[in-house]
A and B are shown apart, each in its own frame.
Chain A
Amino acid sequence: DQQVKQNSPSLSVQEGRISILNCDYTNSMFDYFLWYKKYPAEGPTFLISISSIKDKNEDGRFTVFLNKSAKHLSLHIVPSQPGDSAVYFCAAANMDSNYQLIWGAGTKLIIKP
């Protein structure tokens, strides 16, 4: 039973436009959410996170939105750049459970020139 779902295996976006990656979760005990970016043959790198007490967190071109009632979060990248082409993973945690992360399956983002 997947507790964290990324329903789009891939997404193609024109350079300069907005990329929106989505993530849904089922466990209402999750209180911390993270986005990671992964290039081929490299380990994932942390991008941005959000606590459940917030509904938005912004860092440069990256913004994460959290809708607790819908159990949904999204990552917005504006403007999209060629270097953003990668696989993006959503992860969730219950801060009372030893910080174990539950991962989505990933979305491959392709930025077209």
Chain B
Amino acid sequence: DVKVTQSSRYLVKRTGEKVFLECVQDMDHENMFWYRQDPGLGLRLIYFSYDVKMKEKGDIPEGYSVSREKKERFSLILESASTNQTSMYLCASSPLAEQYFGPGTRLTVT
């Protein structure tokens, strides 16, 4: 079974803090993705990566950065958290089209 883990299920941060969300997959997948999910908006792609040290912007990259130093790990960084970044953050990995998701991190920025 594919396993995708995320560092925290729930996180509360203050405005202006730097936030790190980590994602680890154990299936040697090339592709990894970060999404945010908000009610009525579905899943919106923030960043994705097709290889180590490689990253591509998704639909809503503003205010975020990513790091992929190892194949199994893909980190999402909020440089200076803002209240409009309160959301559910989902990490996924995939060998091809089918993506496997982690449990998500519910981030609240106050």
Residues of A near B41 (CB, < 8 A) are: 105
How many chain A residues touch the partner (CB < 8 A)? 22
**Chain A positions within 8 Å of B98 at CB level:** 34, 46, 49
Contact A46 B31 (CB under 8 A): no
The secondary structure that dominates the B interface is: strand
Majority SS at the chain A contact face: loop
| A64 and B4 alpha carbons, distance in the complex (Å) | 26
- B90 sits at the interface (CB 8 A): yes
Q: What is the CA–CA distance of A106 and B48 in the complex, to the nearest angstrom?
A: 21
User: Which residues of A come within 8 Å of B, CB atoms?
Assistant: 6, 9, 32, 34, 41-46, 49, 89, 93, 95, 98-101, 103-106
- Contact residues of B with A, CB < 8 Å? 4, 9, 31, 40-45, 48, 50, 90-92, 94, 96-104, 106
